[in-house]
Amino acid sequence: MNQIIDMTPILNMDECVISQSAIKSTIYTITFLKNNKNIINSVVKTKILMGATAYDNYYSCSFKATSVCSFKQFQMYLKEKNGDITLPYDFTLRLISNLSSQLKYLVTFCNVTFVGYDLDNIIVIDYNKFIYVNQVINITDNLITLTCPFTKYDFFMSPELICVDSLPCKIDYRSIYYSFACLIIYCITCQLYNSSQIIDTYCVYDYFKIYKYSEETTNIDNLPIKGTKLFGLLKRCLEKDINYRCILYI
């Protein structure tokens, strides 16, 4: 199908442009710089955005909404409404539900994943739906191959990523779960909890890495959500042994 015309750009992101219909204000389109079937299907097939439709051979998708904004704009909305930019508990659960559903689809059905999560590539729809839009990387035998340089300022980093000292490099795809947890912790506390806070030593064994960790400088046990299902999810995502990391809310 052809992309809807008469669209006005309202949000420019790293991988796409968000536009609003000049004719019908409730119609929005996400237009990617290149074919992005995986990301579009991760939004359409999971029904995070009900009624979303792919166009132009997966270069864009359109959907209905009353508002679309960046995550930083959403934080300003929270500031005006609640006097605080931290996410309320119900919003946090919705963020987790949406982003984990999207990630599960990408890993399970597309065999790809994100390298890490950052705030700048989160899109907020109707102030209660969240999608993440960024480049994905192929998974082969549970490993992803990193070929492009990155810094600790690009996204919430896992210990595996912070320890990368040469490229190309292979790491376990479950590194993304650590980044996911760091994102959530930031959203509910506005404090960073990432691998830059960890002093670590490591050795290289072929392309697998074995890590030894010191104690984190920020204790997750001090979070106000201790004892909740959300706290259990974060603990599982932050497991030091990557083989035990998972996104599980029980």
Predicted pLDDT at 226 = 87
Q: What is the mean pLDDT of residues 93-105?
A: 98
% the chain with pLDDT above 70:
87
Q: Count of alpha carbons within 13 Å of 55, Cβ hemisphere only?
A: 17
Q: What is the mean pLDDT of residues 204-227?
A: 50
142 versus 224: which is more confidently predicted?
142
CATH 3.30.200 domain span(s) along the chain = 7-64
% the chain with pLDDT above 90:
71
Predicted pLDDT at 248 = 94
CATH 1.10.510.10 domain span(s) along the chain = 68-244
Predicted pLDDT at 207 = 26
Predicted pLDDT at 48 = 96
Q: Superfamily assignment of 68-244 in CATH?
A: Transferase(Phosphotransferase) domain 1 (1.10.510.10)
The pairing of beta strand 53-55 with beta strand 60-64: antiparallel
Whether residue 94 is predicted with pLDDT greater than 80 in this model: the reply is yes
Average pLDDT, the chain: 86
Whether residue 51 is predicted with pLDDT greater than 80 in this model: the reply is yes
pTM of the model: 0.86
The full DSSP string for the chain is -PPPSSEEEEEE-SSEEEEEESS-TTEEEEEESS--HHHHHHHHTTTSSTT-EEETTTTEEEEE-S-EEEHHHHHHHHHHHHS--SPPHHHHHHHHHHHHHHHHHIIIII-EE-S-B-GGGEEEETTTEEEE----EE-BTTEEEE-S---TTSSBPPHHHHT--SSSEEEETTHHHHHHHHHHHHHHHS---SGGG--EEEEEETTEEEEEE---SS-GGGSTTTTSHHHHHHHHHT-SSGGG------
Q: Is domain 7-64 given the CATH code 3.30.200 in the classification?
A: yes
Give residue 193's pLDDT band: very low, low, confident or very high (50, 70, 90).
Answer: low
